A and B are shown apart, each in its own frame.
Chain A
Amino acid sequence: MKYIIAIIKPFKLEQVREALGALGIQGITVTEVKGHGRQRGHTEFYRGAEYAVSFVPKVKIEVAVESSLADRAIEAIQIAAQTGQIGDGKIFVLPLELAVRVRTGETGTAAL
């Protein structure tokens, strides 16, 4: 199993959710986060005062998938979240050791 973490632009969330849903991925966790990558934030102007906003608002999504589905899921996120502009985000993939469904106690892919 793989654990996929993607940091994306907030307004791309709905498209990413649809793309993952189309692959049959049922579970997804979404968190509103702030941060920066190479983009190093941006500047905002308030009555002429320029503020460097180092931490840009992003959405972090986390999905656990069967290993066989991982490549397609990564591709789906990458296509759905892409605008081609700086700040489109990152996708991180981790090996997942165990998954447990709390209600039934099922483990492994059955718990996904």
Chain B
Amino acid sequence: MSAKDIFRSKLGLGFMALCATVLVPAQTAWAAASVNKGDTAWMLVATALVVFMTVPGLALFYGGLVRTKNVLSVLMQVFVVFSLLAVLWAIYGYSLAFTNGNGFIGSFDKMFMSGVTTATMAATFSKETYVPEYVFMAFQLTFAAITPALIVGAFAERMKFSAVLLFMTIWFTFSYLPMAHMVWWWAGPDCLTLSAEAIDTVKACVGEAAATDFLAKLAAAADDTAKAAVLNDYASVVNASNGWLFNKGALDFAGGSVVHINAGVAGLVCAIMLGKRVGLGKEAMAPHNLTTTAIGTGMLLFGWFGFNAGSNLEANGLTALVMVNTILGAAAATLAWCLGEWFTRGHASFLGAASGMVAGLVAITPACGWVGPMSAIAIGAIAGFICLWAVVWLKARLGYDDALDVFGVHGIGGIVGALLTGVFVNPNWVGGWAGSGVTDYLAVDTSSKIAAYSFSGQITSQIYGVVTAVLLSAVVSAIALMICKVTVGLRVDEPAEREGLDLSSHGERAFS
């Protein structure tokens, strides 16, 4: 066993938390470093795929599920929310989410994209491997834009357009941005190398004086225990600026908590605070065109490969595993939902299959880069059954009108996925069940290894992530809705709702 391995074996679980990760922040450009063109090409494609998920994928998925008189209002809300958030992301969102600040939010350092150029680079998950900061910013933009758009389904067919835009602006600023920062912001893998050869990097990460000091201490360390102590001290300085949940070790590969739990809970609060649609339970509110929903579902599946596999930020073996897991999670959940309906209703419906597919995609999102393919099937199947239970039983029992089941599918599916990630990440299992484990980047060179796994430790970390997302999103949503209520008003009036939002809010008809 080399000295290096001994340091690591002493780091244990506490350190694993430090290294648990998802997406990576922009880093200062190191001298002589350049972007990886293969990774860059993949990330450009992945970014476009996620755009396609929202516009038109999500819009059509939701559009088919509402009544004829409200189709355009839903398409409109998704398109305009996407556009609003894209602009806000460039103005201040990217800066608040992906710059050093405190554990909960970044700074205004990159407001108006200041300091971002074609030459600046973002770190990936491999040491000394970079993509252009612009592609990282654009990829993250698509996440920031689809998340609020998901909430549209909860308050569909009744919310004022002005209230939608005001709500989204407030919610994005105070719920999405802090969550993204808390879960995804970290110093990057390069900073976790403490060696004299990488002195420039060390200086960039902890400052000139501290870098010299740590390197001197490392050189002076007499034995492996002393070196491990120096490395640990160094890591705590490097990780001090990381997001709070990142340091808690909450694993969220592609946005289960940041995107899905966050949006799902906001949807639930919206559904409760807006109240039921006029005529719910008395009038037929069946989907007006499930063929449209089928097209939208297919686009979501297609775009989700960019969402999940793109979250690896590199094009490598893990990216391919993520793609496989995404397909299998979606497929297993589709089968599970159909089976559940078959047993409880006597037949499997198409809407059930489409809902199951989305539920599976949601649940595999936090897990896709951490688990083996067999675990992906298990996660999808479990999520399929639980989400079916949530939209059929839980919703009826609690009596809220979450029009298109944003909470039942994204909220519940996201929570199931987040918790199961903690179970299936276990690298000690065999074959297709083996998880990827959590990478431990801390070393005196550019190597990295898989950290030890602890079930209770990891589940605790996952619960931190889930509870934070639920509480933050619920509180911010409630306050945002109250602000909307006293300023622009929440709902359109009853005659306008009966007439349909297409005509009353937007002055046009989808079909004529």
* Binding site secondary structure of chain A: strand
Q: Are B391 and A51 in contact (CB under 8 A)?
A: no
Let me know if A11 is at the binding interface, CB within 8 A. no
Q: Are A44 and B286 in contact (CB under 8 A)?
A: yes
The CA-CA distance from A46 to B408 in the complex, in Å, is 14
A-B interface pairs (CB < 8 A), number: 29
Minimum CB distance partner of A41 in chain B: B284
Q: Are B284 and A51 in contact (CB under 8 A)?
A: yes
Contacts of A44 in B (CB 8 A): 284, 286
Q: Are B391 and A53 in contact (CB under 8 A)?
A: no
Could you mark each residue 44-74 of chain A with 1 if its beta carbon is under 8 Å from any beta carbon of chain B, else 0?
A: 1111110111100000000000000000000
Chain B, 68-93, CB within 8 A of any chain A CB: none
The CA-CA distance from A46 to B341 in the complex, in Å, is 11
Given A45-B345, A46-B351: A51 touches B396 (CB 8 Å cut-off): no
Q: Are B287 and A46 in contact (CB under 8 A)?
A: yes
Q: Are B286 and A47 in contact (CB under 8 A)?
A: no
Category for how many chain A residues contact B:
10 to 19
Could you mark each residue 184-206 of chain B with 1 if its beta carbon is under 8 Å from any beta carbon of chain A, else 0?
A: 00000000000000000000000
Let me know if B285 is at the binding interface, CB within 8 A. yes
Contacts of B349 in A (CB 8 A): 45-46
Q: Are A53 and B351 in contact (CB under 8 A)?
A: no
Of B284, B286, B392, the contact of A48 (CB 8 Å cutoff):
B392
Contacts of A49 in B (CB 8 A): 285
Minimum CB distance partner of B285 in chain A: A51
Q: Are B284 and A47 in contact (CB under 8 A)?
A: no
The CA-CA distance from A96 to B410 in the complex, in Å, is 61
The CA-CA distance from A45 to B347 in the complex, in Å, is 10
* Binding site secondary structure of chain B: helix
Contacts of B395 in A (CB 8 A): 48
Contacts of A48 in B (CB 8 A): 388, 391-393, 395-396
The CA-CA distance from A46 to B392 in the complex, in Å, is 9
Contacts of B286 in A (CB 8 A): 44, 46, 51, 53
Most B CB within 10 A of own CB, among A44, A48, A53, A54: A48
Chain B, 348-366, CB within 8 A of any chain A CB: 349, 351-352, 355
The CA-CA distance from A87 to B388 in the complex, in Å, is 32
The CA-CA distance from A112 to B230 in the complex, in Å, is 103
**Shortest distance in angstroms between B63's beta carbon and chain A's nearest beta carbon?**
15
Q: Are B391 and A47 in contact (CB under 8 A)?
A: yes
Minimum CB distance partner of B401 in chain A: A49
Chain A, 19-49, CB within 8 A of any chain B CB: 44-49
Minimum CB distance partner of B355 in chain A: A47
Chain B, 278-306, CB within 8 A of any chain A CB: 284-287
The CA-CA distance from A47 to B345 in the complex, in Å, is 10
Let me know if B405 is at the binding interface, CB within 8 A. yes
Contacts of B408 in A (CB 8 A): 47
The CA-CA distance from A48 to B408 in the complex, in Å, is 12
The CA-CA distance from A45 to B392 in the complex, in Å, is 10
Contacts of B355 in A (CB 8 A): 47
Q: Are B351 and A47 in contact (CB under 8 A)?
A: yes
The CA-CA distance from A52 to B286 in the complex, in Å, is 10
Chain B, 233-287, CB within 8 A of any chain A CB: 284-287
The CA-CA distance from A21 to B102 in the complex, in Å, is 82
The CA-CA distance from A47 to B287 in the complex, in Å, is 10
Contacts of B392 in A (CB 8 A): 47-48
Contacts of A51 in B (CB 8 A): 284-286
The CA-CA distance from A48 to B393 in the complex, in Å, is 8
Minimum CB distance partner of A55 in chain B: B284
The CA-CA distance from A51 to B67 in the complex, in Å, is 13
The CA-CA distance from A70 to B120 in the complex, in Å, is 86
Contacts of B284 in A (CB 8 A): 44, 51-54
Chain B, 198-236, CB within 8 A of any chain A CB: none
Could you mark each residue 386-424 of chain B with 1 if its beta carbon is under 8 Å from any beta carbon of chain A, else 0?
A: 001001110110000000010010000000000000000
The CA-CA distance from A71 to B368 in the complex, in Å, is 70
The CA-CA distance from A47 to B408 in the complex, in Å, is 10
**Shortest distance in angstroms between B221's beta carbon and chain A's nearest beta carbon?**
61
Q: Are B285 and A47 in contact (CB under 8 A)?
A: no
**Shortest distance in angstroms between B397's beta carbon and chain A's nearest beta carbon?**
11
Chain B residues with CB under 8 Å of chain A are 284-287, 345, 349, 351-352, 355, 388, 391-393, 395-396, 405, 408
6 contacts between A and B (CB under 8 A): A46-B351, A47-B351, A47-B391, A47-B392, A53-B284, A53-B286
In the A-B complex, list the 8 residue pairs whose CB atoms are closest, starting with the nearest.
Answer: A48-B392, A51-B284, A47-B391, A51-B286, A46-B286, A53-B284, A48-B391, A46-B351
Q: Other CB < 8 Å A-B pairs besides A47-B391, A52-B284, 17 of them?
A: A44-B284, A44-B286, A46-B287, A46-B349, A46-B351, A47-B351, A47-B352, A47-B392, A47-B405, A47-B408, A48-B391, A48-B392, A48-B395, A48-B396, A49-B285, A51-B284, A53-B284
